[in-house]
Amino acid sequence: MTYDIMLVDDHPLMRKGLALSLDEEPDLNIAGQLSSAEEALDALDRLDPDLAIVDISLPGMSGVELVKHLQSLRPELPILVVSRHDETLYAERVIRAGARGYIMKMEAGDIIVQAVRQVLRGKIYVSDEINERLLQSMATGGRERIGQSPLEVLSDRELEVFELTGHGSTTRDIAERLHLSVKTVESYRARIKKKLQLDSANELMKHAVQWVESEDAT
């Protein structure tokens, strides 16, 4: 049996590298390579994939939101998130959204293939560290969060607004990109400041830029 895979990543070189690694496997076939969530949703019925591999950072709709949409449209479709972003911040989010696994892009090709196969078998794939924290969180009824990032207190949408702020996007830019009103984005920013105990918009911008730079350095 051959499994058709839909690959969603806005970095051409990364898509090419992943596609080459997976196409070397005789039973894995890259059915389509898409650069945005919107393209992926448009191509879903045509490609009819057995697995979707999704990046977190996508133009327009984020990878987390794409996972939610795919889960809503195709609850049976296994989804593996492959991203450069810190797994301690994103792994639980994407699993909660409906993904079956999370793996860092820096992992070797054979490890990514292993993750793909595990997800195709109906199992969840995360690193040993995240698996331990997920189990700990379950054992304590969610009272202990899996990661140590202070940004864990942010909702998925708040984290998205925070990241876009760190990239220098204005409130209007964010509103247009996320299809929200300016007032709604301002409300998100106010909640972010409160949760992160920041006193001003300048502090929020500084904090967000520093986080984005640290993420880009990984």
pLDDT of residue 110: 81
Residue 70: phi and psi, rounded to 5, are -60, -40
What is d(CA 194, CA 186) in angstroms, rounded to the nearest whole number? 12
Question: Which candidate, 102, 133, 104, 95, places its Cα nearest to that of 118?
Answer: 102
Helix, strand, coil abundance in the chain, percent, nearest 5: 55, 10, 30
Averages of pLDDT over runs of 10 residues in the chain (218 residues) are 93 87 92 94 96 90 92 95 80 89 80 92 82 60 55 88 90 88 93 92 91 71
Q: Token digits for 24?
A: 């070397």
pLDDT of residue 190: 94
**Other CB atoms within 10 A of residue 128 CB:** 7
Q: Does domain 3-139 have CATH number 3.40.50.2300?
A: yes
Q: Does domain 150-216 have CATH number 1.10.10.10?
A: yes
Is-above-0.85 flag for pTM? Answer: no
How many Å separate Cα 72 from the centre of its chain? 16
What is d(CA 158, CA 164) in angstroms, rounded to the nearest whole number? 10
Contacts for 113 with CB less than 8 Å, ≥ 6 apart: 21, 22, 25, 28
> Please, are residues 43 and 18 in contact by the beta-carbon 8 Å criterion?
no
The alpha-carbon radius of gyration of the chain (Å, integer) is: 18
pLDDT of residue 146: 47
Residue 100: phi and psi, rounded to 5, are -105, 0
Amino acid letter, residue 139: A
Question: Which candidate, 27, 75, 30, places its Cα nearest to that of 53?
Answer: 30
Q: So where are the chain's domains? A: 3-139, 150-216
Within 28-74, residue ranges assigned H as helices are 37-47, 63-73
